[in-house]
Amino acid sequence: MRESLPVLGIGLIGTGFMGRAHALAFHSARSTFDLPVQLKLVALADADAARAEQCANSWGFERSHGQWEHLINDPAVHLVAITTPNHLHFPMAMATLEAGKTVYCEKPLAVTLQQADQMQRAAKKAGVVTRAGYNYQHNPMIVLARQMIDSGELGQIVSFQGEFSEDFMGDPMAAWSWRCEAAHAGGALADLGSHLLAMARYLLGDVESVCADSNTVHASRPASTDSQQQRPITIDDQTHALLRFANGARGTFSSSWLKHGYKNHLSFEISGTQGTLAFDQERLNELRLCRVGDRDGFQRLLAGPSLPGYAAFCPAPGHQLGYNELKTLEVHALIQAVCGNGNDGADFEEAWQVERLAAAIRLAAREQRWVALKEV
């Protein structure tokens, strides 16, 4: 880190799964890349002030806050990373934009389309860099997949089959959490499906219309681990949809958090007139490709240093990147955008488009009909 470079002060809100992933990514970005700024870990906030203090000490932040408003108003904080439950993204991001600071907000952008719309408008008005945490598209293999699609290597794209399944809610005794509350989150579609919708858009562009089906499999869950009390559940455990893309391709979409055996199965198969490309996040360093004339079926492409995002971490092929490296690549793209170098990553306008698509799927499932995106 060169001390003559300008300082970019980082504020991070939340110390859960994603709070830790963001903290690791800021550290890793600092040591992996020759950044045009000095990243300074200024402040960490959490509703649990004691945990904020403890994590600030071990994660290397200068100070901690029990109230997130203090972090946003801290003059040494220039960029605010939001890793709290979904319903808090709106007030926290709006306050950050009001303060004229960069926002790096976890996905999904908001819990209602109206909020997401307000956020993307406020971002435009503030004129600052915004990003949503759609980290999977920073995988060098996904960047390669998009290049292959855009260059016409697969011919005209005719079909997309996408699925994001996990099984962490598969047990009916898995306890209620904020993820089970419509007002706080929005079910498997919001939690996992939003990533798949962002991926579909990243690779193939706009979706024009959808039809869908959604259901709740476990209608109640224990109020907390080991509790005898049950809480009713109304959000979706699984959602299936058909998609029609603006480029003419047809697609399928499914998201489930109770499909046993799957831990991070964000996957797709994309077929064109000249070939098929397949990916599974559980094997994130691989793409499977079959081109017309490949008599023996699919070949496996393995990530290596010919891909810049991979080379940043490792000079040898096949040694494999992991989830946290994708987060580091996301942070790197964000810092570059803040410094005026490039525009990779999903900004609030793109994250709002993902919310429009999710809203269309919800409407289609509710009314059991095809919904055109222009309706929402």
Considering beta carbons, is residue 14 or 251 the nearer one to ligand NAD? Answer: 14
Considering beta carbons, is residue 43 or 289 the nearer one to ligand NAD? Answer: 43
Asked if 64 and 89 count as a contact pair (C-beta separation under 8 A), the reply is no
How many of the chain's residues bind ligand NAD (CB under 6 A)?
Answer: 22
Q: Does 68 help bind ligand NAD (rule: CB under 6 A)?
A: yes
Q: Does 43 help bind ligand NAD (rule: CB under 6 A)?
A: no
Position of minimal CB gap to ligand NAD: 16
Encoding tokens for residue 232?
């009713």
Considering beta carbons, is residue 86 or 165 the nearer one to ligand NAD? Answer: 86
Considering beta carbons, is residue 177 or 320 the nearer one to ligand NAD? Answer: 177
Interface residue with ligand NAD, options 9, 42, 44, 86 (CB under 6 A): 86
Least CB distance from residue 14 to ligand NAD, whole Å? Answer: 4
Least CB distance from residue 195 to ligand NAD, whole Å? Answer: 7
Q: Which of residues 23-42 bind ligand NAD (CB under 6 A)?
A: none
CA 132 centroid distance within chain: 7
Stretch that binds ligand NAD, among 82-90, 197-205, 249-257, 296-304 (CB under 6 A): 82-90
Residue with the two structure tokens 């598209």? 137
Q: Does 48 help bind ligand NAD (rule: CB under 6 A)?
A: yes
Tell me the C-alpha distance between 44 and 52, whole Å: 6
Q: Does 47 help bind ligand NAD (rule: CB under 6 A)?
A: yes
Residue with the two structure tokens 């559980």? 282
Put the strands of the sheet holding 275-280 in their side by side order: 299-302, 286-291, 275-280, 265-272, 157-165, 250-256, 238-245, 207-215, 371-372
By C-alpha distance, which of 83, 82, 253 is closest to 162? 253
Least CB distance from residue 376 to ligand NAD, whole Å? Answer: 21
Interface residue with ligand NAD, options 9, 79, 99, 106 (CB under 6 A): 106
Q: What is the DSSP string of 266-328?
A: EEEEEEETTEEEEEEGGGTTEEEEEETT-TT--EEEE--TTSHHHHTT-SSTTS---HHHHHH
Q: Does 181 help bind ligand NAD (rule: CB under 6 A)?
A: no
Asked if 273 and 289 count as a contact pair (C-beta separation under 8 A), the reply is no
| Contact footprint for ligand NAD (CB under 6 A) | 13-19, 45-48, 68, 83-86, 88, 106-107, 133, 135, 191
